[in-house]
């Protein structure tokens, strides 16, 4: 047990999740980090000085429940939850498999519901006025035909964020989301390696560059902090201005 507030970050072995953990640690949180990558999360936990790094497949409801059971028994109640774990699985719409669709929905959306519910119960039982931040995307609003399940899942995350915020407001538990634009992570590796694809991506990004994972982490840390104490049910789109752009050049 620790006297510091406790935060769980899922999908924290790399990229945005790792950056969220870094930012929260700097704000004084004790960390629990989780990821499906067993070796990766062990390494990340050591680097971050986390209280625990736990392997968890967020598509598996029983594994999520086990994750929360371990946290409650070994570390106490959460003060913050960052639902970051996510996958894309691109493919052609006409041949897109139901198995891939279900897998993306289970990781990106169903896990957010399960984890949010479990975290909120923990907070309510311990009279904690906590914060939950979900990782949405600008693709909750802007569709890309090659990632149908991803777009659908992120649209669901944005709406689920509003629902949870309304349901938990009476307990002073705030629920918000972040909608990243084009961020320099492994998910962007293919575009990074293709000059023409990168040119297209930058043509729709008014700031003219990729965002960094840490820039998203800092938005998450803000939403978990007292500086955001009157913000709930919102999605902050950290997208370099993309959603406001109605043309490409």
Q: Which residues participate in catalysis according to the annotation?
A: 150
- Alpha carbon 195 to its chain centroid, in Å, reads 28
Q: Exposed, middle or buried: residue 54 (CB in 10 Å: 0-12, 13-18, 19+)?
A: buried
What residues have CB less than 8 Å from 227, skipping those under 6 apart? Answer: none
CA–CA gap between residue 56 and residue 156 (Å, rounded): 22
CA–CA gap between residue 88 and residue 90 (Å, rounded): 6
Closest CA to 133 of 170, 104, 158: 158
CA–CA gap between residue 72 and residue 78 (Å, rounded): 8
CA–CA gap between residue 2 and residue 25 (Å, rounded): 13
Residue 91: Cβ within 10 Å count: 16
Q: In this structure, are residues 101 and 109 in contact, taking their beta carbons and an 8 Å threshold? A: no
């Amino acid at each position: 047990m620790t006297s510091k507030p406790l935060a769980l970050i899922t999908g924290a072995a790399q990229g945005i999740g790792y950056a969220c953990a870094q930012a929260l640690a700097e704000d004084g949180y004790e960390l629990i980090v989780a990821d499906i990558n067993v070796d990766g999360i062990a390494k990340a936990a050591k680097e971050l000085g986390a209280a625990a790094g736990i392997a968890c497949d967020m598509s598996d409801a029983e594994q999520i429940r086990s994750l929360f059971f371990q946290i409650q028994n070994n570390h106490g109640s959460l003060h913050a939850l960052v639902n970051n774990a996510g996958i894309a699985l691109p493919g052609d719409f006409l041949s897109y498999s139901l198995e891939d669709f279900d897998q993306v929905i289970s990781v990106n959306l169903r896990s957010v519901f399960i984890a949010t519910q479990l975290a909120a119960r923990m907070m309510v039982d311990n009279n904690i006025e906590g914060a939950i931040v979900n990782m949405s995307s600008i693709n909750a609003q802007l569709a890309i035909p090659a990632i149908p399940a991803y777009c659908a899942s992120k649209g669901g995350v944005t709406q689920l964020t509003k629902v949870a915020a309304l349901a938990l407001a009476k307990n002073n538990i705030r629920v918000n989301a972040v909608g990243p634009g084009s961020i320099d992570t492994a998910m962007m590796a293919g575009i990074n390696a293709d000059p023409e694809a990168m040119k297209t991506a930058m043509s729709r990004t008014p700031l003219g560059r990729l965002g960094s994972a840490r820039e998203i982490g800092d938005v998450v840390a803000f939403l978990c902090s007292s500086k955001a104490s009157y913000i709930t049910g919102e999605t902050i789109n950290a997208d370099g201005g993309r959603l406001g752009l109605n043309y490409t050049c």
